[in-house]
Amino acid sequence: MAAAAEHTARERDAMRRAIALAARGLGSTSPNPVVGCVVLDALGRVAGEGWHRRAGGPHAEVDALAAAGDAARGGTALVTLEPCDHTGRTGPCSRALIDAGVARVVYAVADPDPAAHGGAATLAAAGIDVEGGLLAAEAAEVNEAWLTSVRLGRPHVRWKYAATLDGRTAAADGTSRWITSAEARADVHRLRAEADAVLVGSGTARADDPHLAVRDIPDAVQPLRVVADTEATAVKPGARILDDAAPTLIAVAADLPDGATAHLDGHAEVLRVPRAASGRGLDIAALLVALHERGVRSVLLEGGSTLAGAFVAARAVDRVTAYLAPALLGAGPAALADAGITTITDALRLDVTGIERIGPDLRIDAVPAPAPVASAAPAVPETEEF
């Protein structure tokens, strides 16, 4: 009994380590998931570690098995995602695990991708002891973007903004540099490095001439810089976003005349997207599907408030990351513009998943709360009590 309990504790430790290894791949594996793997030898000692570093490169299991060598025989592989069962750019991981002679495979999250799942069944059919679900919630969190994209057929969207404590993103005269500290701004570069694409609206492109590339993070894979510029008038030649620090895509209305984007030729890719059926700008769902089709699995939406409002209205915000500075302005634009919400019962309720102090500022992470279950009790109108 004691040996079994010890073994389980080692497996939990190894899975925790595998999750940390998986996180190292954030930002460089799309369209693949991030995956980590730890191989324990037959005595439960760590024999090899690996993670999926980039799309087209070895999968985590193959990486860890290579590090373990013969020590994998009779051992246990801990993997954050169910081993794949299909031959893509690399061979199936189920096969690699069988060939390495592991006796047991423990994975955290079942693979929801219909093209890749089935690995657990293949392993079990080969006589390997297979178990799923260990630390599944933690492992799912690190793969939140990829899992969302498989489930919804569009990229995961994290809306990030910086505001004063009273929710202003700029002063009344338009000045906004800088609301938050250098530490908070450095943290945003980490978010950019983890995202496949960074997106802003034409209003931000006009007002700020943003660069949107990752700075000061060694070996970061640069995200695709995207501007929702319906009329192709906001991003002009010489704009900082058109430099060669990272690829750039300008999303414009599908019905623009051919010559309307000539000034972008050779500087940025142009993506034509249908206009929104009602309201201004581009159709958000169509924009996201088009990005998904080009391999984008995670989008960092960096504003401004008008575009963020359209995303909230389209129910296309999966995570909010707010940087709140301990400062007050009292006037100036709010973090979020019209999101089609007019009454308190329709407020988009969020569950806070993390609160962190970053320098003098606060970082709050939150995800949309699950829709409340309808109550059988009759609705009674309520007012706030003071």
Ligand X SMILES: NC(=O)c1ccc[n+]([C@@H]2O[C@H](COP(=O)([O-])OP(=O)(O)OC[C@H]3O[C@@H](n4cnc5c(N)ncnc54)[C@H](OP(=O)(O)O)[C@@H]3O)[C@@H](O)[C@H]2O)c1
Residue pair 38/46 in contact by the 8 Å Cβ criterion: yes
Ramachandran sector of residue 153 (left: φ over 0; alpha: ψ -120 to 50; beta: rest): left
Residue keyed to tokens 């929710």: 167
Could you list the residues that contact ligand X (CB under 6 A)?
161-162, 169-170, 174, 176, 179, 200-204, 207-208, 228-231, 276, 280-282, 284, 302-307, 310, 337
The Cα 59–Cα 148 span in angstroms is 20
- Beta strands at 129-132 and 104-109: parallel, antiparallel or unpaired: parallel
Q: Which residue, 119 or 203, has its beta carbon nearer to ligand X?
A: 203
* Smallest separation (angstroms) from ligand X to the CB of 190: 16
- Quick one: 60 or 287, whose CB is closer to ligand X? 287
In angstroms, what is the minimal distance from the CB of 287 to ligand X? Answer: 8
Estimate the crossing angle of helix 93-100 against helix 60-68, to 10 degrees.
Answer: 20
Contact criterion met (CB below 8 Å) for 338 and 308: no
Residue 125 neighbours by CB under 8 Å, 6+ apart: none
Omega before 75 within 30 of 0, i.e. cis = no
In the complex with ligand X, the residue whose CB is nearer, 42 or 207, is: 207
How far is residue 374's CA from residue 314's CA, in Å, rounded to a whole number? 22
Three-state DSSP class for 175? coil
Nearer to ligand X, 224 or 282 (CB): 282
**CA dihedral defined by 14, 18, 21, 26, rounded to 10 degrees?**
-160
**Which CB sits closer to ligand X, 113 or 208?**
208
Q: To the nearest whole angstrom, how small is the minimum distance from the Cβ of residue 3 to ligand X?
A: 54
User: CB of 170: closest distance to ligand X in angstroms?
Assistant: 5
Question: Does residue 31 have a cis bond before it (omega within 30 degrees)?
Answer: yes
**Which of residues 93 and 322 has its CB atom nearest to ligand X in the complex?**
322
The distance of closest approach from Cβ of residue 224 to ligand X in the complex, given in angstroms and rounded to an integer, is: 17
Tokens encoding 125: 């059919």
To the nearest whole angstrom, how small is the minimum distance from the Cβ of residue 369 to ligand X? 23
Which positions are catalytic? 61
Return the SS3 of 359.
coil
